[in-house]
Structure 1
Amino acid sequence: MQANPLRLVGTFLLVVVVVVGAAAAVPLVTSQQTPAPAQLDNPQFQPDNALIDDAPQDGSIEMEADAEPKTIVVDAGHGAAPSAESIDPLVSALVANGHTVEFFDPQADRRATLNDSLREADAFLTIAPTRRYSDAELAGLAAFTDAGGRLVVLSDPASSGGLSGLLGGLLGLPTASSGPTTTHLSSQYEMAFRSGYLYETDSERNYAAVSAAGANGSLGDGVENAVLRDAAPVVVGGNATVALASADGTTRSTTRRDGSYAVAAQQGNVAIVGDSDFLAPDDAYRGDNEVLIGNLADFLVSGEKSPEDAPTTPTRSGPGAPSGAGTPPGGA
């Protein structure tokens, strides 16, 4: 018997409809079974919160100190090696107000010693040094500050754990691991950097940035919201004062304890700050950083060095005498 052509065509069309319909249904079923992307609960890791948005990137750095021209020496010889560009906001403010900024770099001049540089300097700035100061250099710096020279030490988390040891006899403090903050501090300046770094988990801030406000001392004048990245906490004792303190809710990385922490301190002719990033061009105008930089510049040029009052650096004769020994850094 011969097949009906119309029946064959109908059967073929039915098969096509079934196959096409099944194929069209597959994406629908698949899309219904695909789980939705997981939502992160940690606000500090959200892309929209990756950068601080505390203030517009504008402002100006003003100096109020009415000081005669001074010479500020920046340490580039103990491993930190900051460049003029990396701290340009501070350098530019000083130069614009008639002061001179020089860099101490014994690699560029093998005959140069720190004590030789201090003889002609009015202030000395060191940023996160990584190499230890010699006994002669420490004695020279102590004589320098005793004579009225200004000393500023800036830290960062990479070096904060060892800065107390690097400065050894200068700050004269136990290292960060030697005891709690109640440990008796019998040093000349009674200030030190502690281990770890500070951070905030506030959703409006970058994870490793903290807000700091002025407490006591000239460094904190007019500072209500300085933005410090990876700041190291500091500890003070005796006559030293806390110049800047972080906001409540700040966490210390080594203890995971929340609170308000000192991030800058000063005593007499010496000041320390647990951060150096605020000097960078990208951070200089965040929050009240330009006010802090202006205060720092004023501190550097406000000393009154009296060379005749500087004690002489101890000498040691014979081979192996430390570089700069016997040189009174406060004067010839």
Structure 2
Amino acid sequence: MKRQYFYIAILALLLPTLLRGLWFYRGTPPQRPEIVTPDYASFTRPEVAINTPDLDDVQQLGGTVLVDVAHSNQFALSEIDSLTSAIQARGGNFKTISDITLLENELKTASAYITISPSLAFSESEVQSLKNFTERGGRILVFVDATRYYLGFDYISDNPIPYGDVNAANSLLKQWDISVNNDYLYNTERNEGNFRNVLFDDFGKNELTFGLSEVALYGARSVESGSGMILLQGPATNLSSIDDAHDPNAGGAILSEDESVAVFGDFTFLSQPYSAYTDNAALIQNLADFILSSQQTASLDVFPYLFKQQTVKVFILPDVRKTANLVSAMGNLQANMRSLNYTLEFVDTMPTSGDVLVIGSFDETTDVDIHLKKADVELEKNLISTVQFGEINRSGNGLLIFNSDQKGSTLILLAGTPDDIITLIGVMGYSGLNTCITSPQVAVCSVGYDDSSYDYSDDTSSETEQPTEPEPEPEATPSG
């Protein structure tokens, strides 16, 4: 009996497994149709059109480009390699400037100034120096980016606060009626792979947009101006994060009214691989041409960098005696000019071409009369008569006249006495015009003692003779 229960228990354990096997494995299964799957091997990945710059017709322009690193700029030089290469291909060179006290002097020899995502505001003196730079013919590029910022901290809560580049950039751009908006542009309908990678296909007519059909910016801010030109404008579906609307008066880039300042709301397009997408490569080439094709007007405003050629001919007018003191002064002049990468060549006759430095006195100006006339300067007996400054005493003052044309640049130094001439030669160095009143073509410098301010006449010092009474004659007396 017990054995019977044992077999029943074994059967109860095996029966479910047996039934499950019979149910699920009932012979050979029917042939199932093959599932149709896509032919992945035949697929090709869509790729963005890549454009490479054409360097066959690049013109050698030369020039120096100053890159700002003095305003806590949120970028690395490696991020602008494409622009750097384009400038170097044209014979230009880069120079970073980190000391704002050197800005005014560095701008005198520069073709352009570039600032990228600055965090610190520009001072009034910096803005004025850059304004003067553009008025002389220099150009400025400003790049901002909505993705660049640095973290500050609240003094009370210690919470992090992101600071972008809008305020710092606008502190400079207000001089040219340009402003950067604290936003980012986006397009959810048509973009370059991401809604913040915005496309632009409507361009202002300018050398900067020549040959462009479509440009992509990545995380760009919008830029606007009341008087400038919108360089990059996109479709109505390009929206601003401020109000989720399209502003037809703002775009991805602006050119100032005087065409000296260009502002871009992004600089990611300058780096690889973004520089090769759409027509970004052509835009970068146009930027290089834009900044290197500028040329500052030759004037005393860029003193002492007045000459275009490396060799400067020096002619001393015949009435100036070459004393030991003058020779010493000329030696110092030669050393100063050498430090400015100029070589002096002393000549015996007045040159008719090339860069020339003339040294003479007020008494004999026959060789330079034509230059005095061009500068509207007349030398009278005791006066220097100028259109810019009126009449000035000759005594104790020296005169600088600068003229520049296609034949070369000529700088004339005139003074009244041998000592004044030597002192005037001393201004030919760094910051030498600090004691001068200047205009682009004429400067009058204090070089000596003005003895004309004293009146040596003895009219006021003569004493008035007092009338004297005649002495009484002695009276005769009886005693004789």
Per the normalisation by structure 1, the TM-score is: 0.70
Which consecutive unaligned segments of at least 5 residues does structure 1 have?
26-51, 173-187, 313-323
Aligned partners of 1:127, 1:8: CA distance in 2, in Å?
Answer: 90
User: Based on CA coordinates, which of the two structures has the bigger radius of gyration?
Assistant: 2
Residue 85 of structure 1: how far off its partner (Å): 1.7
**Aligned to 2:107, what secondary structure does the other structure show?**
helix
Residue 63 of structure 1: how far off its partner (Å): 8.8
Q: After alignment, is 242-251 or 269-278 more displaced?
A: 242-251
- Deviation per residue, 1:127-157 (Å, 9 max, x gap): 1111111111111000000000010111111
Matching residue of 1:211: 199
> CA 1:68–1:59 in structure 2 vs 1: closer, same or farther (change >3 Å)?
closer
> CA 1:20–1:150 in structure 2 vs 1: closer, same or farther (change >3 Å)?
farther
Aligned partners of 1:62, 1:140: CA distance in 2, in Å?
Answer: 34
| 1:52-67 to 2 correspondences below 5 Å | 53-56=47-50, 59-60=52-53, 62=55, 66=59
Q: Does 1:115 align with 2:104?
A: yes
Amino acid paired to 1:210: V
Aligned partners of 1:20, 1:212: CA distance in 2, in Å?
Answer: 72
Matching residue of 1:171: 173
Matching residue of 2:128: 139
Q: Say which structure is richer in strand.
A: 2
Matching residue of 1:272: 263
Matching residue of 1:9: 7
| 1:85-234 to 2 correspondences below 5 Å | 85-106=78-99, 113-158=102-147, 163=165, 165-167=167-169, 170-172=172-174, 188-202=175-189, 205-216=193-204, 217-234=206-223
Q: Does 1:74 align with 2:67?
A: yes
Matching residue of 2:388: none
**Aligned to 1:284, what secondary structure does the other structure show?**
helix
Matching residue of 1:252: 240
Residue 99 of structure 1: how far off its partner (Å): 1.0
Candidates 276, 283, 290, aligned match of 1:285: 276
Aligned partners of 2:247, 2:233: CA distance in 1, in Å?
Answer: 10
> CA 1:167–1:277 in structure 2 vs 1: closer, same or farther (change >3 Å)?
closer
CA contact (8 A) 1:264 1:274 kept: yes
Aligned partners of 1:156, 1:134: CA distance in 2, in Å?
Answer: 21
Per the normalisation by structure 2, the TM-score is: 0.50
Amino acid paired to 1:279: L
> CA 1:115–1:82 in structure 2 vs 1: closer, same or farther (change >3 Å)?
farther
Amino acid paired to 1:151: I
Residue 252 of structure 1: how far off its partner (Å): 1.1
Q: Which one has more relative contact order, counting CA pairs under 8 Å at least 6 apart? A: 1
Report percent identity of matched pairs.
Answer: 25
Residue 79 of structure 1: how far off its partner (Å): 0.9
- Deviation per residue, 1:79-131 (Å, 9 max, x gap): 1164432211110111122111111123xxxx962222212211011111111
Residue 278 of structure 1: how far off its partner (Å): 0.5
Aligned partners of 2:114, 2:210: CA distance in 1, in Å?
Answer: 20
Q: After alignment, is 156-165 or 140-149 more displaced?
A: 156-165
Amino acid paired to 1:3: K
Q: After alignment, is 273-282 or 244-253 more displaced?
A: 244-253
> CA 1:257–1:86 in structure 2 vs 1: closer, same or farther (change >3 Å)?
same
**Aligned to 1:291, what secondary structure does the other structure show?**
helix
Aligned partners of 2:19, 2:299: CA distance in 1, in Å?
Answer: 100
CA contact (8 A) 1:194 1:234 kept: yes
CA contact (8 A) 1:196 1:232 kept: yes
CA contact (8 A) 2:190 2:199 kept: no
Aligned partners of 1:226, 1:73: CA distance in 2, in Å?
Answer: 26
> CA 1:265–1:166 in structure 2 vs 1: closer, same or farther (change >3 Å)?
same
CA contact (8 A) 1:146 1:310 kept: no
Residue 163 of structure 1: how far off its partner (Å): 5.0
CA contact (8 A) 2:166 2:182 kept: no
* C-alpha RMSD of matched pairs (Å): 3.6
Aligned partners of 1:121, 1:208: CA distance in 2, in Å?
Answer: 35
Residue 76 of structure 1: how far off its partner (Å): 1.3
